[in-house]
Amino acid sequence: MSPPSEAPTAAHAPRGANAPRSPNGHPVAATTAQLPAAAPSVRHLARKLGVDLARVHGTGPAGRVLLEDLAPFLGSKAAPADRPAARPETVGLDFGVAGTRVKLLGLRRKIAEHMVAAKKAIPDYSYIDECDLTDLVRLRTQLKDTFGRAGVRLTYLPFFVKAAARALKEIPIVNCTFDEAAGEMVLHDRYNVGVAVATPQGLVVPVVKDADRKDVAAIATEIDRLSADCRAGRPKLEDLKGGTFTVTSIGGIGGLISTPIINHPEVGIMGVGKVVRRPVYDVHGTIRPADLIYLSFTFDHRIVDGAVGAAFGNAVVKHLQNPASLLLPERLGG
């Protein structure tokens, strides 16, 4: 985001013969007195956001600029490089060829069978919540170069995996698989979080084993290794087994909300949308810019009741909104 500006630039100075000019005849930038009427809080927020009030159409009396008039400028500002890119990350995916017929074979057939079995077996429901990631965006920005020098590519996904692992410890019934033949819920004491990876052959879910014991850097390194193996078409069999919960992200492609299908026989999955900047009200009733994300959960209603699902969602949000704690050992940051 560009630095705040105390006055409009020359590009927005008054036009025509009455526009103020310098001794050399060039137009002079508009002064604060020439800006539209606005409350001090509006001017303060505009300066913080780098929004030129001369460009804002005021909807208040006599054209007065209101706080809500700044909202369109928040949404239209280019996303900084440290936020997830808005452009689709779809290189290498198979979009099909028009006018052809393709036999459902190999991995694609296995995916299809697995999805059908999951939808037939599981009476699922979805739960969606909003999460303010402003502190996490800031923390990642501060750390990504340090991690990069150590050879670790720090994306947002390791934080989501770590937050999910912490929440699973607080709500153990979500860290569960359902043994339908025995009619038993199997509550696991290992926290193996699957990460859905889109490959040219189809969706693959390798597993970050013992995510609760790994720090964010270790999780990031593991996700990179697993994803690279899957996209190269050579995932290890042991990396595809043992998952107890799954995280899937559509944020890199651009979606806000999804309703993911549970990775049977697990009983829950978390979908992560893209980070978007929106104006929000803080606890004092003042509008501020925030980096928001929508988290979409799907649960097996035979095992996870609505209130329990909401409690799990709350736990994930709590950890994501206190991101520094995710960098600490569990005994300190849990």
Per-residue pLDDT of the chain (334 residues; tens, 9 = 90+): 433 333 333 333 334 444 444 444 444 344 444 677 887 767 766 776 677 888 888 887 778 887 667 766 554 443 343 444 334 455 567 788 898 998 988 888 999 999 999 999 999 999 999 999 999 999 999 999 999 999 999 999 999 999 999 999 999 999 999 999 999 999 999 999 999 999 888 899 999 999 999 999 999 999 999 999 999 989 999 999 999 999 999 888 888 999 999 999 999 999 999 999 999 998 889 999 999 999 999 999 999 999 999 999 999 999 999 999 999 877 665 5
Active site residue 124: no
Please name the residues in contact with 158: beta carbons below 8 A apart, sequence gap of 6 or more: 216, 217, 219, 220, 223
The H or E element containing residue 225 is helix 216-231
Give yes or no for a contact between 191 and 210, defined as CB atoms under 8 angstroms apart. yes
**Per annotation, catalytic residue among 52, 188, 301, 319:** 301
Per-residue H/E/C for 25-79: CCECCCCHHHCCCECHHHHHHHHHHCCCHHHCCCCCHHHCECHHHHHHHHHHCCC
Q: Please state the pTM of the whole predicted model.
A: 0.72
- Known catalytic residue at 135: no
138 DSSP assignment? H
Distance CA 267, CA 244 (A): 8
How far is Cα 244 from Cα 189, in angstroms, rounded to an integer? 10
From 82, 145, 179, 305, active-site residue: 305
Cα angle 176, 311, 304; round to 5: 40
